[in-house]
Amino acid sequence: MSENPPRTELMGSSEFTNHHLGRTLEVRNLVKSFKVGSESFGKAERIKAVDDVSLFVPAGTTMGLVGESGSGKSTIARLICRLLEPDSGQVLVDGDEVTAGTKIPKGYARKVQIVFQDPTASLNPRWKVRRLVAEGIRVHGLRSRSETKERVAELVSLVGLPEHALDRYPHEFSGGQRQRIAIARALAVEPEVLVLDEPVSALDVSVQAQILVLLQELQAASGLTYLLIAHDLAVVERFCDEVAVIESGRIVEAGDPEIIHSRPEHPYTKALVEAHPVPDPHERTMYVHAQDKAEVAE
């Protein structure tokens, strides 16, 4: 694991540089099917939501996963996070298997975290931000009480929220801010891999860019490995090092985002590209650099 690329030390925080060596994420021949329809008379039909999917995401890079609704993207995300048991196949983080069997050593739970599409639903409405962000630290007993407090404040400012956010409930925030809280919560356990399941598609277009920029900054600072799920090829293209296109549970095409976008080979990919017309390259750059943090100001 020493082949990991050297990491820039933007964060200045020693934890980040020492423990946050973003590692590889590997998925091997993952299969998952679901029962559908009536079970009453014995013969339930099954659909393969994920059908023999393999992916390799090098440390500190971002892999985009694109496909239309129902193609199995979220199912892959859930399999990676052990929210679902695969029928077969493995998920390896940093070479260690994280999906085998039912009992996973607690330490592994820290390696992969997930950010969901709907930030409203992903934060317990009855908890204040402080407790939400601290939960992971507490569960794993990572720090003492006072250190936890400090660390939570640090995380909240890291994701660009003001300190007074700590004592508020999720409903007091905008969608973009809630997504920042969700990110801080995931980062609290110092994961190596972050699965982002359409993290911006529930947000206003103007806010989407801010969140993507934040994620990019975090990656640059700590070398996190991302699996970014989207149904919009355009979002993925400007943000990812590599892209995989999924149709009905199967990866149909993978490779460089620019190439896939400009010269899609698979008919499905072509259809996807046509569904989202190529934005002007110039405009695209501006989009990424739009670091308007107005919404954070309060």
Partner 1 sequence: MTKFVLKRLAHTVIVLLGVSVMVFFLIRYLPGDPLDVLFTQGSGDEVTAADDLAEGRRRFAEGIGMVGSLPSQYLNFLSEIVQGDLGTSIFRRIPVSTLIATTLPLTLQLAIAGQIVNILLSLPLGIVGALKQNSIWDRGGTAFALIGTAMPNFWQGIMLILIFAVWWPILPVSGVMDLGLSVEHITGIPIVDAFVTGNWPAFWSIIRHLILPAITLGASASLVRILRSSLLEVKHQDFMDAYRARGLRERSVTSHMMRNALPTTVVIFGIRLGAIIGGSVVVETVFAYQGMGWLLINAINQRDYPLIQGIVLTFTVFTVLANLLSDIVHGWLDPRVKVEAKT
Partner 2 sequence: MSDTDDLVRIADAEDVDVTSDAALLGEQPTRSWVVMFAFAVVAIAVFTAIFAPALAPHDPTAQSLVDRLQPPGTADHLLGTDAIGRDILSRIIYGARLSLGAAFLVATLTSVLAVSVGLISGYFGGWVDTVIMRIVDIWLAFPGLILAIAMVTALGRGLDKLVLALVLAGWAGMARVVRGETLQLREREYTMSARVLGVGKIGIMFKHLLPNIMPTILVITALDIGSTILGLASLAFLGVGIGSEVVTWGSMLSEGRNYISTAWWVALFPGLAIFFIVLAVNLVGDWVRDRYDPRSPFRRAKLDAATRKAAEEQEAASVRDAATAGGGG
Query: Is residue 102 a contact point for partner 1 (CB under 8 A)?
Result: no
156-175 positions binding partner 2, by CB under 8 A: 171
Dihedral, CA of residue 197, residue 21, residue 131 and residue 125, to nearest 10: 0
182-201 positions binding partner 2, by CB under 8 A: 182, 185-186, 188-189
For Mg ion, which stretch binds (CB under 5 A), given 20-28, 55-63, 67-75, 213-221? Answer: 67-75
Determine the Cα–Cα distance for residues 25 and 93; give it in Å rounded to an integer.
Answer: 5
Torsion 283-284-285-286 (CA) sign = positive
Distance in Å, CB of 37 to partner 1, minimum: 7
For partner 2, which stretch binds (CB under 8 A), given 2-10, 111-119, 212-220, 283-291? Answer: 111-119
Instruction: Return the residue nearest ligand ATP (CB atom).
Output: 74
Nearest to residue 175, comparing CAs of 152, 149, 198? Answer: 198
Determine the Cα–Cα distance for residues 215 and 115; give it in Å rounded to an integer.
Answer: 11
**Closer by beta carbon to ligand ATP, 34 or else 108:** 34
Determine the Cα–Cα distance for residues 281 and 76; give it in Å rounded to an integer.
Answer: 31
Work out the angle at residue 79's Cα, subtended by the Cα atoms of residues 74 and 83, and round it to the nearest 5 degrees. 95
Distance in Å, CB of 120 to partner 2, minimum: 5
Binder of residue 37, out of partner 2, ligand ATP, partner 1, none (CB less than 5 to 8 A by kind): partner 1
For partner 1, which stretch binds (CB under 8 A), given 32-40, 103-111, 135-143, 220-228? Answer: 32-40
3-state secondary structure labels for all residues of 230-266: ECCHHHHHCCCCEEEEEECCEEEEEECHHHHHHCCCC
Rounded to the nearest 5 percent, the helix, strand and coil shares of the chain are: 40, 20, 40
For partner 1, which stretch binds (CB under 8 A), given 12-20, 36-44, 208-216, 277-285? Answer: 36-44
Query: Is residue 113 a contact point for Mg ion (CB under 5 A)?
Result: no
| Residue 12, both tokens | 């200045």
Out of 37, 107, 162, 267, the only residue in the binding site for partner 1 (CB under 8 A) is: 37
Query: Is residue 118 a contact point for partner 2 (CB under 8 A)?
Result: yes
**Closer by beta carbon to partner 1, 36 or else 286:** 36
- Identify how many contiguous H helices and E strands the chain contains and give both numbers: 11, 10
Distance in Å, CB of 256 to partner 2, minimum: 30
For partner 2, which stretch binds (CB under 8 A), given 40-48, 112-120, 235-243, 248-256? Answer: 112-120
Query: Is residue 206 a contact point for partner 1 (CB under 8 A)?
Result: no
- Which positions touch ligand ATP (CB under 6 A)? 34, 36, 47, 49, 67, 69-75, 231
Query: Is residue 74 a contact point for Mg ion (CB under 5 A)?
Result: yes
Instruction: Provide the b/e sequence for 10-48 (b: ≥16 CB within 10 Å).
Output: ebebeebbeebbbbbbbbbebbbbeeeeeeeeeeeeeeb
Q: Would you tell me the crossing angle of helices 175-187 and 205-222 to the nearest 10 degrees? A: 20
Interface residues with partner 1 (CB under 8 A) are 37-38, 40
